[in-house]
């Protein structure tokens, strides 16, 4: 998350400052209650310098978890610098004067404050030192509001730079809460950094209250029910139950002023815990890793089975659909669209179209049938029987508008080009057993804000390459949770690694842009717009429609039904193949069928390709020519990335597209394809 995204996700624009203060105040009430009941060693741990054990515990917190905690305690750097203005605040509630990353002076001793903030104190004037020191030990859990207001006025000329606050937090605060978490819960040593860090975030927010008993006389909601359940799940090593408990505790704050903020935090924690469940390293596409010998290890992986559990694109995205736009407008705000000016490249340099040659006709309607998709699958060596003979196939046609859908008798599409503003693609279901198709309006490209995001901070925003992909039914989780979607994941729900495009130097994807072997989380989900006025995507495949109040609607709902999902949650774990190609390729296939040339080898050469997801003897020969060890004939992420590198290194090359053609085969003399180049 960059600062802009984290602030938006937290609801911490300047207009939400009161909510931010209320969230901090709530944390202090929780910590105070736990400390008073002596349910955890909070007082002794928090009041002393971090032990070696505490420092070691903090080292286990992942970077993603650290950022989540800091973002929620500060609103993100942009909010901290421009709204809080680096100054002390008083969040009210039970809080004292708070500085830095949620450091509450009301709940520390003088010795603790002087030890933790020695660098800050050294830079203050004598009067500032006295004023800030005078705040220690006072909080509105025991002292009057007038007292706290007066104290705040005396320290508003003091600023705590972000960098200084971060040093204090890492060195003092984080180790203490990490140790509290480790001490309060069993089996934390079996968790990944993302999972352990998630629980540290929870402890930071609610205290180590995992053993707090229910007292019906004072707590009608049983506010710590889920905290006890998390401890029980940890004891039983039933780690998969913890995200459910994090989400379940959202009930506590319904109807309160902090409901939305707490919902966001718990959802983000649940998503991060899910990311860390499988454990293991993040796969990198850096050339240095290949040079270090990772290539051989990757080649030994089962084809298409490469995965990652690290932070990926979907974890950095705040969905902005029509509901968000309407809500903002109702409050007098306008959500600006970053990246205005994102454009679609010309066919000659666009990686999805360049292999078809220049001067491609556009704006031409064509009839699409199941036979056309079967021809495309055959000529790309896509094993569409991988999940069973006759299993339905999801498909996307990039740059294809729906003129007549399946309900009109015959499907007619328009060969057009995508853009990053409105949906100009088709997503559908190929009912292979019946030889029929269902088509729906959607988009297979990121929106313009996403194109700009990678250019701005390099965190996320991508274009999924054409190819054949494996998906699994499950919930799409970003800033919201949408059940019953289609996830780019392995059967064990680890994130599937593929190859995508990213643009760092401009707002257009072309053959010279970044080729990234990664796990982008490019799921298939609703566009979050009920019509074709927009779509929300960092790289996901989206179908026009929404999910709201527990109901899927619009073309998205019909698409899910066509894919066999009949209720809100669908069939979690059900596997699908997704075939992504272009409308231009579909139009050429349609033309070959109408001209009676679908079986003609010379005509078919026009569409004969090897790309991501191809699986054949020809693909195996290509892997051999690329000097990959143990060729298996399946074009997975490593094979495709290596093809990109080979293309980019050819004399006179201007980039790569990761698509191997008969013309390229002939030019290299590799004889990957058979007679006539097919």
Report phi then psi at 296, rounded to 5: -65, -40
Q: pLDDT value at position 44?
A: 53
How much is the mean pLDDT over the chain? 84
Element (H, E) at 274: helix 259-276
Tens digits of residue pLDDT in 330-359: 444 333 444 457 899 999 999 999 999 877
Element (H, E) at 44: helix 42-47
What average pLDDT does the segment 284-301 reach? 30
% of the chain beyond a pLDDT of 90: 57
How many other CB atoms sit within 10 Å of the CB of residue 214?
14
Q: Which residue has the higher pLDDT, 478 or 433?
A: 433
Q: pLDDT value at position 533?
A: 81
Q: pLDDT value at position 340?
A: 55
Q: pLDDT value at position 331?
A: 42
Q: pLDDT value at position 275?
A: 84
Q: pLDDT value at position 281?
A: 29
Tens digits of residue pLDDT in 19-38: 666 666 555 555 555 544 44
Q: pLDDT value at position 16?
A: 54
Q: pLDDT value at position 3?
A: 36
Beta-carbon contacts of 61 under 8 Å, excluding residues fewer than 6 positions away, are 174, 178, 193, 196, 197, 200
Q: Which residue has the higher pLDDT, 574 or 140?
A: 574
CA distances from 370 to 434, 482, 564 (A): 9, 30, 18
Q: Rounded distance, CA 158 to CA 147, Å?
A: 19
SS3 readout for 174-195: HHHHHHHHHHHCCCHHHCCHHH
How many other CB atoms sit within 10 Å of the CB of residue 313?
29
- Alpha carbon of residue 407 to chain centroid: 35
Q: pLDDT value at position 46?
A: 54
Q: Which residue has the higher pLDDT, 16 or 485?
A: 485
Q: Rounded distance, CA 446 to CA 454, Å?
A: 11
Q: pLDDT value at position 453?
A: 80
In this predicted structure, the answer to whether residue 611 has a pLDDT above a threshold of 70 is yes
In this predicted structure, the answer to whether residue 565 has a pLDDT above a threshold of 70 is yes
Q: pLDDT value at position 542?
A: 96
Q: pLDDT value at position 91?
A: 83
Q: pLDDT value at position 315?
A: 55
Q: pLDDT value at position 339?
A: 44
Tens digits of residue pLDDT in 440-461: 999 999 988 888 888 887 777 8
Give 462: exposed, middle or buried? Use CB within 10 Å, 0-12, 13-18, 19+. Answer: buried
Q: Which residue has the higher pLDDT, 74 or 99?
A: 99
Q: pLDDT value at position 655?
A: 93
In this predicted structure, the answer to whether residue 263 has a pLDDT above a threshold of 50 is yes
Tens digits of residue pLDDT in 639-665: 999 999 999 998 888 899 999 999 999
Predicted TM-score of the model (pTM):
0.57
- Confidence bin at 534 (pLDDT 50/70/90): confident
Q: pLDDT value at position 231?
A: 97
- Of the chain, the end-to-end C-alpha distance in Å amounts to 46
Tens digits of residue pLDDT in 309-335: 455 555 544 555 545 444 444 444 333
């Amino acid at each position: 998350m960059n600062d802009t995204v984290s602030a938006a996700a937290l609801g911490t624009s300047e207009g939400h400052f009161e909510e931010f203060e209320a969230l901090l105040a709530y944390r202090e009430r929780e910590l105070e209650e736990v400390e008073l009941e002596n349910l955890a060693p909070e007082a002794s741990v928090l009041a002393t310098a971090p032990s070696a054990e505490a420092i070691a515990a903090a080292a286990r917190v992942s970077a993603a978890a650290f950022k989540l905690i800091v973002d929620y305690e500060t609103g993100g750097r942009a909010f901290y610098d421009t709204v809080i203005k680096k100054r002390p605040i008083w969040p009210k509630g039970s809080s004292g004067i708070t500085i830095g990353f949620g450091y509450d002076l009301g709940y520390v001793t003088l010795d603790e404050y002087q030890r933790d903030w020695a660098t800050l104190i050294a830079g203050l004037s004598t009067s500032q030192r006295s004023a800030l020191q005078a705040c220690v030990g006072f909080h509105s859990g025991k002292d009057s509001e007038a007292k706290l207001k007066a104290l705040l006025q005396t320290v508003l000329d003091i600023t705590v730079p972000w960098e200084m606050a971060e040093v204090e937090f890492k060195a003092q605060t984080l180790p203490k809460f990490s140790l509290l978490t480790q001490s309060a819960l069993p089996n934390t040593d079996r968790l990944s950094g993302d999972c352990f860090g998630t629980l540290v975030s929870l402890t930071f927010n609610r205290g180590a209250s995992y053993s707090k008993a229910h007292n019906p006389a004072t707590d009608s909601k049983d506010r710590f029910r889920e905290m006890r359940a998390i401890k029980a799940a940890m004891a039983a090593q039933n780690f998969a139950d913890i995200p459910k408990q994090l989400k379940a505790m959202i009930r506590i704050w319904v109807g309160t002023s902090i409901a939305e903020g707490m919902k966001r935090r718990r959802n983000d924690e649940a998503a991060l815990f899910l990311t860390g469940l499988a454990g293991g390293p993040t796969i990198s596409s850096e050339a240095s890793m290949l040079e270090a010998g990772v290539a051989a290890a990757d080649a030994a992986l089962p084809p298409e089975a490469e995965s990652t559990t690290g932070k990926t694109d979907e974890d950095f995205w705040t969905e902005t659909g029509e509901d968000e736009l309407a809500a903002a407008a109702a409050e007098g705000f306008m959500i600006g669209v970053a990246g205005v000016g994102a454009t679609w490249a010309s066919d000659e340099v666009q990686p999805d179209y360049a292999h078809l040659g220049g001067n491609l006709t556009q704006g031409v309607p064509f009839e699409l049938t199941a036979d056309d998709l079967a021809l495309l699958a055959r000529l790309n060596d896509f094993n569409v029987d991988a999940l069973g003979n006759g299993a339905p196939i999801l498909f996307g046609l990039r740059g294809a508008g729906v003129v007549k859908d399946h309900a009109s008798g015959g499907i007619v599409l328009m060969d057009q080009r995508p853009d990053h503003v409105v949906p100009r693609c088709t997503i559908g279901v190929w009912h292979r057993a019946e030889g029929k198709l269902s088509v729906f309006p959607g988009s297979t490209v990121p929106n313009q804000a996403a194109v700009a995001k990678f250019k701005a901070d390099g965190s996320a925003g991508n274009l999924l390459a054409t190819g054949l992909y494996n998906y699994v039914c499950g919930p799409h989780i970003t800033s919201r949770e949408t059940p019953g979607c289609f996830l780019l994941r392995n059967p064990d729900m680890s994130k599937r690694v593929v190859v995508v495009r990213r643009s760092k130097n401009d707002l257009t994807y072309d053959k010279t842009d970044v080729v990234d072997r990664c796990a982008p989380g490019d799921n298939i989900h609703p566009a979050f717009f009920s019509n074709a006025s927009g779509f929300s995507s960092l790289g996901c495949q989206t179908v026009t429609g929404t999910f709201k109040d527990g109901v899927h609607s619009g073309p998205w709902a019909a698409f899910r039904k066509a894919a066999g999902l009949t209720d809100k949650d669908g069939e979690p774990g059900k596997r699908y193949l997704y075939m992504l190609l272009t409308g231009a390729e579909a139009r050429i296939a349609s033309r070959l069928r109408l001209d009676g040339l679908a079986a003609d080898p010379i005509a078919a050469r026009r569409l004969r390709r090897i790309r991501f997801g191809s699986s054949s003897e020809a693909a195996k020969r290509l892997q051999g020519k690329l000097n990959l060890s143990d060729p298996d004939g399946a074009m997975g992420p490593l094979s495709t990335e290596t093809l990109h590198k080979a293309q980019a290194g050819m004399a006179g090359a201007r980039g790569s597209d990761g698509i191997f053609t008969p013309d390229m085969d002939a030019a290299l003399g590799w004889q990957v394809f058979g007679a006539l180049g097919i």
